[in-house]
Every structure is written in C-alpha cells, then in structure tokens.
Structure 1
Amino acid sequence: MEKELVLVTGGSGYIASNIILQLLEQGYEVRTTIRSLAKVDRVKKIMKAGNAKNLADLTFIETDLTSEKNWDKAMEGVTYVIHPASSTPKLDFKDEKEMIHPAVNGVLHVMRTARDAKVKRVVITSAYGAVFAGHENRTTPYTEEDWSNLDAENIFPYQKAKTLSERAAWKFIEEEGHGLELATVNPVGVMGPILTSDYSHSNVQIQQLLDGEVKAVPNIDSGYVDVRDVASLHLLAMTSSKAAGERFLATTGETLSMLEVANILREAFPAYAAKLPTKKIPNAVLKAAAIADPKLRMLASLVGKYAGTSNQKANSLLGWNPRPAREAILATAQSMIDLGIVKK
C-alpha cells in the first residue's frame, strides 16, 4: 500500500521537527520545506537525536513563505499539509505591519497552493496569542470559542499577527476553499525535550532560570504543554473526521506562575537551587521599567492577567491526553543540562 505524503513547513523548527518524527514513526512519507538546503544536515541531526524511524521517507524542498518558488512542486502528490512555519519576526520593526503582513500573506499562500493541488486538509499551528489577548477581568478558562480582541489597548504585534493570520485562513476556507479542510492548533507555552543545542525561543526561560540570570520573576501566569503532545495533537487534527473545521487549544489546562516554575526546577534539581529566584518583581516596578525599555512592554502587559485554559475540546473530541506541565518543564531542563546548554 502506498504511503500518504504529508508536507510539513519549516522542518527545522521545534514543533515541526517533533511532528516529522511522529509522522515518520506512524508510517507516513514526509516532505518538508526549508528556507535553505544548507539546513538539511541540521534537520537530519535533529531527526537522529530523536531516534527517527524511516529516515528514507523524509525529503526536503527549498522554499520560503515570502517566495513563490517551488510551492507548486512542494504540494505535488500531498494528501495533508501541516503548517507550523511562520515568517521570521522583526524585533526592530518600525511599523507593526512588518510583522502582520508576512504572517497573513504566508498563511494565505500555503492555503491557495494547497487548494490548487487538491490537498485534503491543512493543519495550521496558530497560537494561544490568537485566543487570550485583549480580554480584561477574565475569570473563566479560555476555550477555542475565544478570539483575541484586537480593538483592546496593549495588543502586541505578535498577538495581532497570529490572530489575523488564523482569521485569514478561516475566511479563505469559507470564501474560496472549494472543499479544502482546515483545522488549527493553538499551543500555550511549549516545553519538552530539546534534541540538539539549537533550541527554541520558548525554552529560553528555563535556560535563564537555571543559569541564574533571573534574580526575581514577574508576576505572570502561563499554561505549559509538552512539544511531543503538541505534535500528537497536530496528527489527530490532521486525520480525525471530527477535526475538520475546528480549532484546538494545546494546553494541559494547568496554570503556573513563573515562581512556581522556578520552584519545580528547585525541587527536581537541588544543585541549581541557589541560582533559582525566590522573589517576584512588584507589578508597578516592571510596568515602570517597560516605559523606558520597549522590550519589556509585552511582558508588562501580561502582569497579573488571568491565564486559565481548557483542553476539554481536544480531550473529548480527539481523545488527546497531554502529560502534566511539570513533566514538560523538567524534560526541557534535563535535556538542557545533558546537552551542556546550561552551565553545571
């Protein structure tokens, strides 16, 4: 029997590489896009570190979300598309449109070429940022029914870009999808094992805590989820008949403060206890600092905000059961110690 071919965008990414590992393990043929063929060795190194099965079933194609090049070729013979790739955000942008336009245009480009190639379903990696932003005085867990309120103050370009690009994908399906199916996965903070020393920005928090770079933590709550469970949710969203036309929050449903994260690390890794913070930064201090330092503004906007989430939909509809947040956090930390990313 011929293997179904899945296109995964941005194969060198943290979530994408874990999706590829699980697809290969489940017997799919995988084609992945990379911005440059110079990254092939990097992806293969990640695959080998993850004990990849059937590496002969993985092929590469050079293309970019900002380019027309090779996309038609990338879609040839593809049954499913999983789209975790996103345009590289500019940290020094002068106008938020520099982040928003590439995100929206990139998603629409994938949707159009998938539709034209008669792909069955696209699964887009959206974000919790498209769900929670701009809601004041929240007291009940966020669900897939929620969308970030872009009319609110202090909506940051990243959250806008994720919200507008996901909305653009749903609008495309409604108006010009012509039978193409769509599902989206919206992860909270992604943790879990790192396979090589080239790690994701979502894991920087753990490295900074263990290396003693954080003397006190902001009063910020967050959900956390293991990258292996985020990957498995993408595969369920890809194949389940119940997933077509649905969004899924990838969350354990737990909410942890940054101090609780530090305490989890302290208990599990006593050798690092002296480096880990025990105090919180007063809210007013962080907000005052953010006035002078634009890099702190997004952080300051999250201070004291409710961050509860529910995974009831993914659990009841798809039977998805993620491992606890503590396990995901400790897996990140252990792999960072093992790889020498964190100083011993």
Structure 2
Amino acid sequence: MAETVLLTGVSGFIAKHIALKLLNAGYDVRGTLRRPDRADEVRAALVPYLTEHAGELTFAQTDLESDAGWAEAMAGVSALVHTASPFPIAQPKDPAVLIRPAVEGTERVLKAAAAAGVTRVVLTSSTVAVLNESKPDTLQDEADWCDTHLPTTTPYAKSKTLAERAAWEIAKARGLRLTTINPGLVLGPPLDEHYGSSLGLVERLLKGKDPMLPALGFPIVDVRDVAEMHLRALQRPETEGRRYIAAAGSMAFVDMARTLKAAYPTRRIPTREAPQFIVRALALFDPTIKSILPKLGHLERVSNARAVSEMGMEFIAPKAALLASADWLVKHGKVRA
C-alpha cells in the first residue's frame, strides 16, 4: 500500500509540481484546498503528466486560518509537505495581512500533524528567510537568517522568516522530523494557467512595462528543481533537521532583460539600468517598485552547496528557467505577440 503525503495548498504553482513529483514517485497525495471547487482544476493540470504507476490524488478542504478539517486531513498520512503561504507581488500596507496567516497557519498545520502522530514534515520556506540585509552582496547559506528587526525587511520576508522559525520551534517541542526547502525566485513552466504571482516578474519584462530596470538581482531556481528537492527530502532521512537552499545562481534584472531580448528581439523589452534616483521617484506611484527599494544596488547571492552535496542536485541554469517561463507565457498568450 502506497504512503500518503498531505500536501497543503495543492493548487499553488510550486505545489502542483510537487504533487506531480510525488505521484509519479508512487506516493498517494492528499492535497488541501481552501476552495473545494478547485479540485478539478488541479486534477486537470496533473493528469497529462502522470505516469502509468502514479499514486492516487485526493483532496481535503482546509483553511490556514481555521482549525476545521485539519484533523481529518491528517488521518492516515505518513508525511506532511506544507507549501501553503501568501505570496504577493506588491507588499501590503498592513504587514499582518501576510504575517499572521503565514505564521499562525504554519503553527496550526504542524501542531495538527503532531497531534495526529505525523512526524515527518517538509516545509517550503524561502531564501528571503535566509538573506540578511545587513550583509549585502555576500554569499549567504543555510546558517544565515533574515533579520526581521531591520526597518527595510519586507512584510513578505518577515512572514516567511517567522513562519520558518515557528516551524523549527514546534518541531523541537513536538518531536517532528523537519526539513525546510528555501527557494529563491521560482521560475519555470507552470502546469496550467493558474500560476498566481510567481511569474509576474517575467510577464512585466516581456510586456516592457518599465522603460528602465532597477539595479538589483536575486537568486533564481526552476520550479521543477524545487519540486525535486521536496521529493528527495522526503526520500532521504539524512535531510531531517536541516535547511536546504534551492537556487541555481543569481541574475541581475538587466541580465534577465537582455536574455529575454536576445530570445525575443522584436519585443520592446527594456535593457538599460535605471539610476537609483529615478527608481525611487517611480516608487512613489508604484507599490511593486516601492517593495524593492531596500535591495537597490545589490545582487543577492546564496550558496546551493548543501543541496548539491547532500541531495545530489544538478540545477537547471537560471537563464534556462527564465526562458522556460517566457516561452510558456508567450505560447499561452499571456503576453501579446
């Protein structure tokens, strides 16, 4: 009989890819949904890619902000993969909009797992929980943590950091065997047209929305590699109690734009870097731009050495992940030709 894995937020961009990896590896997957009417959407996204020996996909209705349904969702499962968390394009005016559901939701889900005797947990965190802005332009790794007390730390970074810290505290207190996967900017091809805000940056570049680009960059990873790392974490007991950065390398905005311009030369994709004073002026009118001000002038870099050495990961290159995203968006008409 196949093991059953509870996968939270199964309708998400990353979660669908994780579900596909788990199912094709022979696991049964019980995916949680806040809205049960999305079950058909998720099933339709996965079915074309399932192998002959794939596990069974079922669903459970739950909400990160409610206790209802979690005990039932945990019944009979051997492991929990917790991916569900809010992910914004622009930072909200009220940080609690992100922080509260991320932290309380993680606490609720992990405590429900412990109560049900489910001790194996893989948590999707983020490199924003790793990157410490007091050490700009340095290569950071799993020993580093975001400083949530810095005034420049975004609500999203706080939400992911506090949620991950809460997970580690609960794991220690309740005897959970926890692994965290900390992805950078997740690119790559979606499995369907419901991919949330993850590819919003690539859409913005392809549409030429900005005349010039801010001087900054960040770690990038392909969604297929993120999913593979969740699978390997479950399959390898030696990953328990450890964090793993999921990143193939870093790219500056301008390098991303030039890569896309080379692939789509007829598109009006900006390739010039904007002076910082112009970006700060634009941020007065655009909340998406305002959210990146603390990172201006910096290339965020993280080490993937642990994932390579301990998980045997061979990452898809950042440029390849970027182009896979763009190709999918163009092919599916998400940006005008």
The answer as to whether partners of 1:21 and 1:53 remain within 8 angstroms in 2 is no
**Is it true that 1:278 corresponds to 2:271 in the alignment?**
yes
Q: Percent identity?
A: 36
Question: Aligned partners of 1:314, 1:228: CA distance in 2, in Å?
Answer: 14
Letter in 1 for 2:253: M
- Show the counterpart of 1:333: 326
Q: Select between 317-326 and 261-270 the one with higher mean Cα deviation.
A: 261-270
Q: CA deviation at 1:194?
A: 1.9
Q: CA deviation at 1:94?
A: 5.0
- Show the counterpart of 1:187: 183
Question: Aligned partners of 1:68, 1:257: CA distance in 2, in Å?
Answer: 42
Question: Aligned partners of 2:276, 2:89: CA distance in 1, in Å?
Answer: 27
- Show the counterpart of 2:24: 25
CA displacement 1:269-289 (0-9 Å, x = unmatched): 3343xx111211111221233
Q: 1:304 aligns with which of 297, 300, 303?
A: 297
Question: Aligned partners of 1:91, 1:268: CA distance in 2, in Å?
Answer: 28
Query: RMSD between aligned alpha carbons?
Result: 2.0
Q: TM-score, normalised by structure 1?
A: 0.92
Question: Aligned partners of 2:250, 2:92: CA distance in 1, in Å?
Answer: 31
CA displacement 1:26-64 (0-9 Å, x = unmatched): 111110000111101111121135456567700011111
The answer as to whether partners of 2:212 and 2:270 remain within 8 angstroms in 1 is yes
Structure-to-structure mapping, 1:79-228, within 5 angstroms: 79-87=78-86, 93=92, 95-136=94-135, 138-174=136-172, 176-177=173-174, 179-228=175-224
Question: Aligned partners of 1:310, 1:200: CA distance in 2, in Å?
Answer: 27
Question: Aligned partners of 2:250, 2:45: CA distance in 1, in Å?
Answer: 30
Instruction: Name the count of aligned residue pairs.
Output: 337
- Aligned pair in 2 of structure 1 residues 208, 91: CA closer, same or farther (>3 Å)? closer
The answer as to whether partners of 1:187 and 1:230 remain within 8 angstroms in 2 is yes
- Aligned pair in 2 of structure 1 residues 21, 90: CA closer, same or farther (>3 Å)? closer
Q: TM-score, normalised by structure 2?
A: 0.94
CA displacement 1:45-84 (0-9 Å, x = unmatched): 2113545656770001111111111111110111111011
Q: CA deviation at 1:112?
A: 0.6
The answer as to whether partners of 1:5 and 1:30 remain within 8 angstroms in 2 is yes
Q: CA deviation at 1:304?
A: 0.9
CA displacement 1:158-181 (0-9 Å, x = unmatched): 11111111001111122x21x321
Q: 2:255 aligns with which of 246, 257, 260?
A: 260
- Aligned pair in 2 of structure 1 residues 279, 93: CA closer, same or farther (>3 Å)? closer
The answer as to whether partners of 2:207 and 2:335 remain within 8 angstroms in 1 is yes
Segments of structure 2 that go 5 or more residues without pairing to the other structure are none
Q: CA deviation at 1:88?
A: 6.7
Q: CA deviation at 1:295?
A: 4.3
Secondary structure, in 3 states, of the residue corresponding to 1:280?
A: coil
Q: CA deviation at 1:215?
A: 1.9
Secondary structure, in 3 states, of the residue corresponding to 1:123?
A: strand
The answer as to whether partners of 1:188 and 1:225 remain within 8 angstroms in 2 is yes
Question: Aligned partners of 2:108, 2:336: CA distance in 1, in Å?
Answer: 42
- Aligned pair in 2 of structure 1 residues 263, 154: CA closer, same or farther (>3 Å)? same
Question: Aligned partners of 1:338, 1:150: CA distance in 2, in Å?
Answer: 40
The answer as to whether partners of 2:3 and 2:78 remain within 8 angstroms in 1 is yes
CA displacement 1:212-231 (0-9 Å, x = unmatched): 22321111111111000000
The answer as to whether partners of 2:26 and 2:55 remain within 8 angstroms in 1 is no
Question: Aligned partners of 2:183, 2:157: CA distance in 1, in Å?
Answer: 13
Question: Aligned partners of 2:88, 2:224: CA distance in 1, in Å?
Answer: 24
Q: 1:313 aligns with which of 306, 314, 337?
A: 306
Question: Aligned partners of 1:50, 1:122: CA distance in 2, in Å?
Answer: 25
- Aligned pair in 2 of structure 1 residues 116, 148: CA closer, same or farther (>3 Å)? same
- Aligned pair in 2 of structure 1 residues 343, 7: CA closer, same or farther (>3 Å)? same
